[in-house]
Amino acid sequence: MRGIIKERPEAMKNPKILTGNIELEIRDLKVLAESRTHPFDIKLDGYEINEELRLKKRYLDLKRSRLHQNLKQRHLVLQFIRNYLTDKGFMEIETPYLSKTTPEGARDFLVPSRLSPGQFYALPQSPQQYKQLLMISQFEKYFQIVRCFRDEDPRGDRQAEFTQFDLEASFYSQDQILELIEQLIQQLVYQLYPAKKITQVPFPRITYKEAMAKYRCDRPDIRVNKNDVNELGFAFIVDFPMFEWHEKQYNEEAHYSATHHPFTKINFDLDLIKEDKIRLIKEAPESLRAWQYDIALNGIELGGGSIRETDPDILEAVFNLLGNNHEVFVQKFGHLREAFQYGVPPHGGIALGIDRFLMILQNEETIREVIAFPKTGDNRDLMMDAPSAADEKQLKELHLKIIDH
The domains of the chain are located at 1-35, 45-171+350-405
Predicted local confidence at residue 357, as pLDDT: 98
Predicted local confidence at residue 5, as pLDDT: 93
pLDDT band for 107, please (50, 70, 90 cuts): confident
Give the number of other Cβ atoms within 10 Å of residue 195's Cβ: 7
Q: In this predicted structure, which of 124-128, 249-253, 277-281, 304-308 has the lowest mean pLDDT?
A: 249-253
pLDDT tens-digit readout, 227-240: 999 999 999 999 99
Pairing of β 120-123 and β 141-149: unpaired
pLDDT band for 105, please (50, 70, 90 cuts): low
Distances (CA, A) of 322 to 117, 244, 302, 328: 30, 10, 26, 11
- Measure the CA–CA gap between 302 and 357, rounded to whole angstroms: 7
Distances (CA, A) of 227 to 48, 232, 251, 286, 364: 22, 11, 41, 38, 14
- Give the pTM: 0.91
Predicted local confidence at residue 333, as pLDDT: 86
Structure-derived torsion over alpha carbons of residues 142, 219, 47, 382, reported in degrees to the nearest 10: 60
Predicted local confidence at residue 104, as pLDDT: 57
Handedness of CA 171, 173, 179, 180 (dihedral sign): positive
Predicted local confidence at residue 330, as pLDDT: 87
CATH topology for 45-171+350-405 is BirA Bifunctional Protein; domain 2 (3.30.930)
Considering the chain, what is the average pLDDT of its residues?
93
pLDDT band for 269, please (50, 70, 90 cuts): confident
| Mean pLDDT for the stretch of residues 371-381 | 93
Q: In this predicted structure, which of 32-41, 92-101, 102-111, 232-241 has the lowest mean pLDDT?
A: 102-111
pLDDT tens-digit readout, 377-403: 889 999 999 999 999 999 999 999 998
- Measure the CA–CA gap between 181 and 172, rounded to whole angstroms: 12
Predicted local confidence at residue 156, as pLDDT: 64
Predicted local confidence at residue 163, as pLDDT: 97
pLDDT band for 329, please (50, 70, 90 cuts): confident
3-state SS record for the chain = CEEEEEECCHHHCCCCCCCCCEEEEEEECCCCCCCCCCCCCCCCCCCCCCHHHHHHCHHHHCCCHHHHHHHHHHHHHHHHHHHHHHHCCCEECCCCCCECCCCCCCCCEEEECCCCCCCEEEECCCCHHHHHHHHHCCCCEEEEEEEEECCCCCECCECCEEEEEEEEEECCCHHHHHHHHHHHHHHHHHHHCCCCEECCCCCCEEEHHHHHHHCCCCCCCCCCCCCCCCEECEEEEECCECEEEECCECCECCEEEECCCCCECECCCCCCCHHHHHHHHHHCHHHCEECEEEEEECCEEEEEEEEECCCHHHHHHHHHHCCCCHHHHHHHHHHHHHHHCCCCCCEEEEEEEHHHHHHHHCCCCCHHHHCCCCCCCCCCECCCCECCCCCHHHHHHCCCCCCCC
| Mean pLDDT for the stretch of residues 339-359 | 95
Most confident of 94-98, 225-229, 374-378: 94-98
Predicted local confidence at residue 398, as pLDDT: 94
Predicted local confidence at residue 353, as pLDDT: 96
Predicted local confidence at residue 328, as pLDDT: 86
Predicted local confidence at residue 188, as pLDDT: 98
In the predicted structure, residue 111 carries a pLDDT above the cut 80: yes
pLDDT tens-digit readout, 7-29: 999 888 998 888 899 998 899 98
pLDDT above 70 covers a percentage of the chain that reads 98
